[in-house]
Structure formats: C-alpha cells, structure tokens
Amino acid sequence: MRAIHLLFSLIIFILFAFSNISFADSGGPLKPEQAAYDVTYYYLDLSIDPETQTINGSLLCQVTIINPIDVLLLDLDDVFLVTNVDISINNSDFQQTSYSHENELLEINIPEDVDTDDMISCKIYYNGAPRISQGPPWDAGFVWDTTSDGQHWLAVVCQFQGGDIWWPCKDHPSDEPDSMHISLRVPNPLVCVSNGQYLGFVDNGDNTSSYNWFVSVPINNYNVTFYAADFLLIEDEYESTIGNEIPFRFWVLPEDYETAVNYMDVFQQEFDFLEEIYGPLPFGTDKQGWAHAPYLGMEHQSIIAYGHDFTTNSWGYDYIHLHELAHEWWGNLLTAKNWADIWIHEGIATYTEALYVEYLSGMETYFNFMRLHYPGPQMNPLAPYEDMTASDAFDLLEPYNRGACTMHALRYHLGDEQFFEVLKRWAYLDPDDFGNEDGRQCRLVDTEDLKIQAELVTGVDLAPFWSVFLEKLAIHN
Ligand SMILES: [Zn+2]
C-alpha cells in the first residue's frame, strides 16, 4: 500500500496500545521447522457469515519435505478454534492426527517418519470470529461493511500480519504455493470475488452460494483475499503486448456501475503504460481483476482492491490504482523473500508513479514529483540485509519515498538506456521470454539478487552504489 501508511500506523498503534490485542506479525527469522518444508498447494474452503461475523471451514495444505521433521508447523491466529486435523503422507489415505494450537502457532503431529522429498497433505478444520480491521487496509482483519442501501460489503486485509489472521498458512514471504484453490460460501445475493480464475458458483439451496476460484501461479499469502457484495461485473478482453488475450474484470457496486464503466479508460491507460515499461501483465492466464473495495486499495494479486472513488489527483493520474497495479510486477511477479527488502515492492511502485508523471507531463514535472517525495535524512539503511518482520520493515525503513529516490539515483547513475533495460530484466529475466501464462516468471528475490541481475545486464560494478544507497549508509542528503 501507500505512503500515508505511517500516519495510520501511528493511529493503529495508539488504538492497540489501549485495546491490548496481540498480533502475529508476518516474516522475521524463518523458523527451522518451517524452513524444513516447501508449500506446493493450498485449498481454502470457507463459509463466511456476515450476520454472526464468523467463518467456518477448512484449509488443505500440501508440502514437500526438505529436511525430516516430526511436526508440521503452521501459523494461525488464536481467535480460531481448530476442531480436527487429518494428514496424508505420500498420498496415503487421510488419517486423523493430534495437534496443538497456541501462541498463534499450529503444530501438527506427523505420525510416521518422513524423509526429504516426501509429500504431506494436511486438512485443518477450524472456525471462529476473525479479528476485525480497525483501519483497513493498514490494520489486518475482516471488514464487515455495508453499502449505502444497507447491503453487506465484505473484505479482508492482512499485509503486515499475514494470511494467518484468517487461514492456516506458513506466514513467511520466502515461500509461496505453486497454485491455490479458493472456495468461499456467502449468503445470497452476495457475489464473492477472489484471486485467480473464476471457476463458477454453486447455489447451495439454503440461501447461500459458493464461489470457486483457482490461482494457477504462485501467490504470497497476504495477497490471498476476497470481496463480497451485491456486485455487478464489467467485462472486457484485452490483447496483451505479447498477443495473448487477458480477461479484464471489474466487480463494482451497482450504484457506481455507470461511473466505473466510464472510468475504465483511466485503468486502461495506466495498465498500458505498465506493460510498456515493464513487460506484459504477469498473470495473463488468471485475469486482470479489480474489485470495488470498502477501503482505499491493496495489491491483491489478479484482483486489485480499488476504493478510491474514481478520482485522479493534481498530477493527472489515479495514484491508488497505478500504485496497486504496479505491484503486480513489483511485489507479485517479483516478491521480496524477506520483508527487509520491501523497497523492491514499495519503492519501485512509488517510482512508477514518477515515471507516469513524466510520461504525462514531461521531465520538469517529474523533477517536481521527485523533489516532493524526497524522504529527508534517515537513521536506517534502506535494505539492512537482515531478517525483519513486515511491520518493522514498513515502520523503520520508509520504503516508499526512499525506494523511489534510490531508483531515481540509479537512473542517473546508469543513464536511461541501461536503467530502463534493468527494469525490464528485473521483471522478465530473459529478453526473449515474456511468457505470462504459467507463472514461470514469478520469482522470490532479495536486494542482493537485484544487484547481481543489474550488473549482468549493464556490466557495471554496482557494489559502490548499493553500499551507499541500499546496504549501509543510512543518511541520504
Ligand atoms: Zn504499495
């Protein structure tokens, strides 16, 4: 999300200082028990009841063992009651197994010895009242909102605390499933929208319907999301710069349908600009989706949250839309494997805004934009090369403007030709391979990876630049 995060962090901090609610923050040092396995697949199957503000269902998790373990350790908020866990090893029949759930950790007993490359599937049944966000999108939790005519308008956000605030997962940015199935049951007439491809809905005959979605590519856990309302759908097909057809889908509240239809030109222009400078939309098979959200915005993969009232700013663009859409490349295609590298997401997304301002209004306006985003002296390195949790990284590093200014400096260090080539190669490593259909371009990276890739593209030794702007020196003058 966006730079006003700091102000909201302060508000949230004050709220929670008085409410004494504990948080399980995403990331930090990877626990050895979680380094010992690789998640390959999640299947989330939930009923969402806005009347009782509860959820009820199951999560199937498939992992490959890297180092032998006797316990499968997942994260899950303590507000939930886990009622049963079934386990299967190497596709054997599922059997019930024991578990413990405390301190926001779910420890599942593996009943027999497992070795490297063994596969474990676990099905966890749970229910409860998820925490409620005190200030979406910055504060993690459910949003149980209503529209102007009193209809339910539901959503969830969890960037800093991670997916474990609503489903059991390995809450660390260094691991993503290869794919994910999401099935969500909501009361009629709500339409429930999520990440990935729409597989259809089933009317359950009890005044609820289940909406099914399949994410065919890797996805980070805080991007897994849903929106439910009495949505109308705006549909289009877009021919990507590499020729494949991408479904454009915008689920919008009925009262704003006409406004949204007319506003699609703004989305389209910003989308075209991003494909031009970074390569094709990375998730061409799934979709380019937007959902009308009861909060400002968030970069939820293939279903961007949009709640910015269809407004452009004085620079002439919709900063929420452009920023969140830029995260499809910087955050979702390329994902920082450690929150300490969050400038890769937020710095480049913010710098994308500068590039768009330049595209719209020229270099002088670009320079004005950069001057206004100068971050001032800082006490911490932008990329500290250490393990950090999400909240620490956002609060201590100020990745938005510092990241953008570092990109600005790198541009003038390398010159335009090499700099823009580096951006393209960071997004798509192989200049002859812009495949965006099967997720093969999705990568987990850190600051050092980007340095090495930039050096390969340019032939320039970037160690001095990295040392000054990213790794060591804290003060930017
Ligand atoms: Zn952002």
- In whole angstroms, give the CA distance from residue 289 to residue 252: 11
Please write the tens of the pLDDT for every residue from 74-122: 999 999 999 999 999 999 999 999 999 999 999 999 999 999 999 999 9
- In whole angstroms, give the CA distance from residue 423 to residue 351: 11
Domain residue extents for the chain? 241-477
Rounded to two decimals, what is the model's pTM? Answer: 0.94
DSSP 339-398: GGGTHHHHHHHHHHHHHHHHHHH-HHHHHHHHHHT-----SS-SS-SS--BHHHHHHHH-
Distance 404 CA to ligand 1 centre (A): 12
**Cβ-count burial 361-371 (b if 16+ within 10 Å, e if not):** eeeebbeebbe
Q: pLDDT value at position 455? A: 98
Q: pLDDT value at position 1? A: 59
Distance 332 CA to ligand 1 centre (A): 11
Nearest one of 216, 337, 336, 363 to 284, comparing CA atoms: 216
- Using an 8 Å Cβ cutoff, are 212 and 193 in contact? no
Distance 1 CA to ligand 1 centre (A): 3
What are the residue ranges in the chain where pLDDT is below 50? 3-4, 6-21, 476-477
Q: pLDDT value at position 13? A: 43
Distance 159 CA to ligand 1 centre (A): 10
Q: pLDDT value at position 376? A: 85
- Residue 259, Ramachandran bin (φ over 0: left; ψ between -120 and 50: alpha; else beta): alpha
Q: pLDDT value at position 473? A: 65
- Using an 8 Å Cβ cutoff, are 321 and 307 in contact? no
Residue 29, token pair as written in the block:
């040092």
Distance 327 CA to ligand 1 centre (A): 7
Distance 390 CA to ligand 1 centre (A): 13
Distance 160 CA to ligand 1 centre (A): 12
Distance 29 CA to ligand 1 centre (A): 23
- In whole angstroms, give the CA distance from residue 293 to residue 179: 24
Fold of 241-477: Neutral Protease; domain 2 (1.10.390)
Distance 3 CA to ligand 1 centre (A): 8
**Cβ-count burial 394-404 (b if 16+ within 10 Å, e if not):** bbebbbbbbbb
Q: pLDDT value at position 23? A: 58
Sequence letter at residue 268:
Q
Sequence letter at residue 172:
H
Distance 5 CA to ligand 1 centre (A): 9
